[in-house]
Each structure stands twice: as C-alpha cells, then as structure tokens.
C-alpha cells in the first residue's frame, strides 16, 4: 500500500558563523523556522530487498540521491541491530514543491521524512534520538526535521533548542538558480568571526546571514532578486541557498506581493509553524526527553 508523508520546508531566519573547526566544518548559530509548505513523499514498503526511486532527479545518480541514501542507511543500521529481516525494501517517490538548491531544506527534509516513514513502516522502532543521529550523517539540517520543531541551532546545526516562534506569513522567491554550498563555505572572504551571542540577545537584537554577501557576489540574479524584494519588504537570504524571503503580518499582503513577482522567478507564500506535520509520530518520545 502506498502511504503519503509530509516533508515541510524551512527558513533560516538568521545564520551567524562564529568560527571554523579543524575538520573544515563551521560552528554557527541559526534559527530554523518550519513552514506549512513543502514536498510530499510517497512510500510503499515491500519485501523486494531493493530501494527503488521513481522519477530520478536530473543530473543525480539514484544511489547518490539523499532519500535513497537515507533509506539504505536506515536499513543497514537496523540490520546491524537485528531489527529487520534480510529482504526488506521500498519504492519512493517525491512530489516536489520546494526548489532544489534554494536553501529551504528540501533535500534534508526529504531525507528526514524517509527515515521517519520507513522507521514506522518497517516497524524498526528506533528512537527519535537514534534517527537524528543517522540523519546527521546525511546532513547537518536533517535532525531538525526529524525532531519536527522550529529550533535554535548551534554547533554545525545539530545542537537544537526548540523554540516557539510567532506564526508569521512569508513570501519565498526562487531566482531559478542554485547556489553551491561548498563554494560559499570555502570562500576566503566569508565572515567566520561573528561574535557568539545568547539566544535572548539574538531574538531582541539585529541578526543577519553571514553567507549573503558571498552569495550575492557569485550570483547576479540573486543580487537583482534581493534588490527587487527590498522595494516591497525587508529581504533575507535563507541558509546558503538562493531563495529570498520576507515576512508579512497577513496572508493577504504576502499574496499581493507574490502577484507582483517578475515571471522569470518562482515563489510561494507560506506560514511559519512550530510543529512539523510529522509531530504525531516523532514528538511523544522527544517530549519525554526534554521535560
């Protein structure tokens, strides 16, 4: 039987880089805002022993697709723990709405949803903490989608503090170009010394995205998009992607601005949420931990 699973997007409301680690990764402070807008994952589990991806991603070999890697990682780990029979498989399909390379968490969210869905469908019963540890092997943003809570993040993005944020409306615009995360984080001019601040100070004071100036330098289309959004609201870059967002007090105002977006760009309106649609599956265990 085919089952449907939500895969929500996110925004980085700010992204401060406070240092570079010896392993090449960066220590940061960021605020993840989950959205009520995202992809849908279709999953059918079976006894084929294969992980099959319907509708491959252009330019990406299926074996390197993050959702296939997530499924295989979970299967292999479960077998090591004797939680799965030898022949277990699944067919996966993504109904995409989130732009690829936009910084709205599409790939990371998809991987998290695969882990949560197959953990349930294969009856593995790994804890949320175990799933988050597996997700971290796939990407620093995966754990926040597994826990399913808007969160303040530190470390490389894996040290999460759940936070309740106002349910604001956002317009998110994609300039139809991707930003290379590796290139951004390895640029010699990237700011890596933003002072560490307590969460309370970050919420009350000014914040920014340290990657924005570098991304604008590499991508003229992004520069034009930020300037255009600036005519209507206060623009922000999300993560290291190319999507630009702005907040609005009402859905009507956000939709009015969306209607003005030049046709060469794509966009959507979403509301910030504090609980992921995966909450009912993941959160009961997590709540016990944080009480």
Q: Closest by alpha carbon to 190, among 169, 211, 204?
A: 211
| pLDDT tens digits along 23-61 | 889 999 999 999 999 999 999 999 899 999 998 777 777
Contact 175, 265 (CB under 8 A): yes
Return the CATH number at 157: 3.30.230.10
pTM here?
A: 0.93
Q: Is 269 annotated among the ligand-binding residues?
A: no
The residue annotated as part of the active site, out of 10, 79, 93, 96, is 10
Q: Is 102 annotated among the ligand-binding residues?
A: yes
Owning domain of residue 127? 1-291
Q: What is the DSSP annotation of 212-225?
A: HHHHHHH-HHHHHH
| pLDDT tens digits along 53-93 | 998 777 777 888 999 999 999 999 999 888 887 789 999 99
Number of separate domains in the chain: 1
Q: Is 105 annotated among the ligand-binding residues?
A: yes
Reduce the DSSP state of residue 152 to 3 states and report it.
Answer: strand
Residue carrying the six token digits 């796939």: 138
CA 186/CA 195 separation, integer angstroms = 20
Q: What are the φ/ψ torsions at residue 216 (nearest 5 degrees)?
A: -65, -35
Contact 46, 21 (CB under 8 A): no
Is pLDDT of 181 > 90? no
The residue annotated as part of the active site, out of 36, 93, 141, 187, is 141
CA 214/CA 236 separation, integer angstroms = 14
Q: Is 104 annotated among the ligand-binding residues?
A: yes
| pLDDT tens digits along 105-117 | 999 999 999 999 9
C-alpha of 1 from chain center: 27
> What is the pLDDT confidence band of residue 288, given thresholds at 50, 70 and 90?
very low
> What is the pLDDT confidence band of residue 283, given thresholds at 50, 70 and 90?
low
> What is the pLDDT confidence band of residue 282, given thresholds at 50, 70 and 90?
low
Strand partners, 270: 170
Q: Closest by alpha carbon to 238, among 265, 259, 207?
A: 207
| pLDDT tens digits along 95-148 | 999 998 899 999 999 999 999 999 999 999 999 999 999 999 999 999 999 999
Active site residue 141: yes
pLDDT (average), residues 14-21: 96
């Amino acid at each position: 039987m085919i089952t449907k699973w939500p895969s929500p997007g996110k925004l980085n409301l700010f992204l401060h880089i406070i240092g570079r680690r010896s392993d090449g990764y960066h220590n940061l402070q960021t605020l993840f805002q989950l959205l009520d807008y995202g992809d849908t994952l279709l999953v059918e589990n079976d006894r084929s022993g294969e992980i099959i991806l319907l509708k491959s991603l252009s330019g990406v070999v299926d074996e390197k697709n993050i959702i296939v890697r997530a499924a295989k990682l979970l299967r292999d780990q479960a077998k090591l723990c004797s939680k799965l029979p030898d022949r277990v498989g699944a067919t996966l399909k993504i109904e995409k709405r989130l732009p690829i390379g936009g910084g709205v968490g599409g790939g990371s969210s998809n991987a998290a949803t695969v882990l949560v869905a197959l953990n349930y469908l294969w009856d593995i019963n790994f804890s949320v903490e175990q799933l988050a540890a597996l997700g971290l092997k796939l990407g620093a943003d995966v754990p926040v989608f597994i826990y399913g809570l808007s969160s303040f993040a530190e470390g490389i993005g894996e040290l999460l503090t759940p936070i309740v944020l106002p349910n604001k409306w956002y317009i998110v615009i994609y300039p139809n170009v991707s930003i290379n995360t590796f290139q951004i984080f390895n640029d010699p001019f990237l700011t890596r010394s933003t002072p560490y601040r307590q969460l309370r100070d970050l919420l009350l004071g000014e914040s920014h995205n340290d990657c924005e100036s570098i991304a604008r330098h590499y991508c003229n289309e992004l520069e034009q998009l930020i300037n255009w959004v600036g005519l209507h609201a206060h623009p922000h870059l999300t993560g290291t992607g190319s999507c630009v967002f702005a907040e609005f007090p009402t859905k009507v105002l956000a939709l009015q601005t969306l209607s003005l977006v030049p046709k060469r760009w794509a966009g959507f309106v979403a509301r910030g949420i504090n609980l992921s649609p995966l909450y009912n599956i993941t959160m009961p265990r997590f709540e016990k931990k944080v009480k």
